[in-house]
Amino acid sequence: MLKNERKVSIILSSPSGAGKTTLAKKIKENFSSFEISISHTTRTKRPGEKNGIDYFFITKKEFLEKIEKKEFYEHANIFGNLYGSSKNTVKNIQEQDKFIVFDIDWQGARQLTKNKDLNLIKIFILPPSKSELIKRLNLRKKDKEKSIKERISFYEKDITHWKEYDYIFLNNDLEVCFSQIRKLLNSII
């Protein structure tokens, strides 16, 4: 069973476009004991995204009401959109006796770190370079040009937060990076 009595929660953070969401999905696909905490957001859906699968898409008014009612473990304003991890979502995963994967930025990670009940392991994903990150953002064709420029402008600030994490992995090759994460996860479950 567990090497640790309490279930751990994994935080995956990175600059936008470095691969954290893809890696979170690979963890879920390869480990039946892990579940992704689906965030709430005020961001509009991208093509192919589904409510309740990728995010819970809600209005800004609904989001602010949830903040007021203290329904989030963490929340952040990222590129003008609000994102948050619901306490109910986390509770539902815990009731299934599963490990939690949070796909969040450094702002959310800082807030979650204050909650000692979550038994966190924080992982930061680095892209190989800024130029590679720009290439990936352009190739994924999920964002408008203005959004891509905004994400790139935050790269320098986002990248400095790697020091706040327990483990840092370079995502030069997705399969190699996932293999390293898999090795870490196998050592804790």
> What's the structural domain count of the chain?
1
Please tell me the predicted confidence (pLDDT) of residue 2. Answer: 41
Position 166 in a domain: yes
- CA pair distance 147, 170, nearest whole angstrom: 24
Position 1 in a domain: no
Beta strands 99-103 and 81-86, pairing class: unpaired
CATH of the domain at 17: 3.40.50.300
Position 70 in a domain: yes
Position 37 in a domain: yes
Position 181 in a domain: yes
Position 3 in a domain: no
3-state secondary structure of 155: helix
Please tell me the predicted confidence (pLDDT) of residue 3. Answer: 44
Please tell me the predicted confidence (pLDDT) of residue 14. Answer: 93
Q: Which domain holds residue 66?
A: 9-188
3-state secondary structure of 111: helix
Pseudo-torsion of CA 128, 139, 135, 79, nearest 10°? -90
pTM above 0.85, yes or no: yes
Which residues of the chain fall below pLDDT 50? 1-4
Give the angle 70-158-38 at the CA atoms, nearest 5°: 40
Please tell me the predicted confidence (pLDDT) of residue 189. Answer: 81
Q: Which residues contact 188 (CB under 8 A, 6 or more apart)?
A: 2, 3, 4, 8, 121
Position 4 in a domain: no
Position 2 in a domain: no
